[in-house]
Amino acid sequence: MIEATGIKNIIKPENLVYKKSSVMTDNVLSYCPGCGHGTANRILAEVIEEMGIQSKTIGVSPVGCSVLLYNFLDVDMQEAAHGRAPAVATAIKRLIPDSFVFTYQGDGDLAAIGTAETIHACNRGENILIIFVNNGIYGMTGGQMAPTTLPGMKSSTSPAGRDVKTMGNPLKMTEIVATLPGTYYVTRQSVHTPANVRKTKKAIRKAVEYQKLDRGTCFIEIVSNCNSGWKMTPVQANKWMEETMFPYYPLGDIKVPVEESVK
């Protein structure tokens, strides 16, 4: 630990304004430096702590970098088969209706192998929160092309860039699930700047409130970076994401509840 010199009198418990949440475990995060997953995990932990729902929370994480969440969050976690997290979460929520159930999925999981489970869980209006971390690539397995990879974007399986004629168009899952009647709150956020982190945290908080009121599926997409997969430094990756990802995946609420009873 290094401390700022000369201002040691500021470092006192009563002056504390920010500290890592106690819902996070002490394990060192095994994500790459600058990965948005770490920030997303942290704000999820903060919301769980602030709302006092640690003992009632059950998370479901499937396959991909998102699976590592069970190492870092001190809540009950269930591992699901690749893409099947919304189906497992459905069962958990139906069996334990008092619990707060969320899934934490990446784009290779939710938008590729788990498309059917995601769409049907949203269509049934299951009372769960789906957190979808979209970095446009299969990060854990070495940066292969995912359904969300942008047109022309290079990946290890599309070295000349994604050609939409042969490889299809990027899938906007968030827009798709927003059209389903079962979803209650659908939003797209990011975690690369302090302002965006605060907005995302607010969105997760809202989703927890809605789940308490039994309103239906809440779906939060977090557009994130994969600097290792994109072969960039974290700062470059965030800039690239702003310039290239956001025009295709614009941030903001896509489906907001008609009656805004919860503020």
Partner 1 sequence: MAKMRGSIVVDAERCKGCEVCRVSCPTGTIGMAKEVNHKGYYFAYPENPDLCIGCANCAMVCPDGVITVYKTKI
Q: In what order do the strands lie in the sheet with 252-255?
A: 76-79, 57-61, 100-106, 129-134, 217-223, 183-190, 252-255
The footprint of partner 1 on this chain (CB under 8 A) covers a number of residues equal to: 41
- Select 134 or 217, whichever has its Cβ closest to partner 1: 134
Does the footprint of partner 1 cover residue 10 (CB under 8 A)? yes
Does the footprint of partner 1 cover residue 258 (CB under 8 A)? no
Angle at 155 between CA 153 and CA 159, to 5 degrees: 90
Q: How far is the CB of 17 from partner 1 (least distance, A)?
A: 5
Q: How far is the CB of 114 from partner 1 (least distance, A)?
A: 24
Q: How far is the CB of 210 from partner 1 (least distance, A)?
A: 24
Residues 6+ apart with CB under 8 A from 198: none
How many other CB atoms are found less than 10 A from the CB of residue 257? Answer: 16
Q: Out of 22, 55, 179, 233, which residue is the one contacting partner 1 (CB under 8 A)?
A: 233
Does the footprint of partner 1 cover residue 21 (CB under 8 A)? yes
- Select 24 or 145, whichever has its Cβ closest to partner 1: 24
- Select 162 or 199, whichever has its Cβ closest to partner 1: 199
Does the footprint of partner 1 cover residue 235 (CB under 8 A)? yes
Q: How far is the CB of 93 from partner 1 (least distance, A)?
A: 28
Q: Count of residues for the chain?
A: 263
Does the footprint of partner 1 cover residue 33 (CB under 8 A)? yes
Residues 50-109 contacting partner 1, CB under 8 A = none
Q: Out of 47, 122, 171, 191, which residue is the one contacting partner 1 (CB under 8 A)?
A: 191
Tokens of 207: 């989703």
Type of residue at 248? Y
- Select 124 or 239, whichever has its Cβ closest to partner 1: 239
d(CA 171, CA 150): 9
Does the footprint of partner 1 cover residue 243 (CB under 8 A)? no
Does the footprint of partner 1 cover residue 16 (CB under 8 A)? yes
- Select 192 or 215, whichever has its Cβ closest to partner 1: 192
d(CA 106, CA 220): 12
d(CA 209, CA 206): 5
Phi, psi of 96 (to 5 degrees): -125, 80
The string over 231-242, giving b where at least 16 C-beta atoms fall within 10 Å of a residue's C-beta and e elsewhere, is ebebeebbeebb
Q: How far from chain centre, in Å, is Cα 14?
A: 32
Does the footprint of partner 1 cover residue 36 (CB under 8 A)? yes
Nearest to 204, CA basis, from 24, 8, 39, 28: 39
- Select 114 or 143, whichever has its Cβ closest to partner 1: 143
* Interface with partner 1 (CB under 8 A): 1-7, 10-12, 15-21, 24, 28-29, 31-39, 42, 191-194, 197-198, 227, 233-235, 238
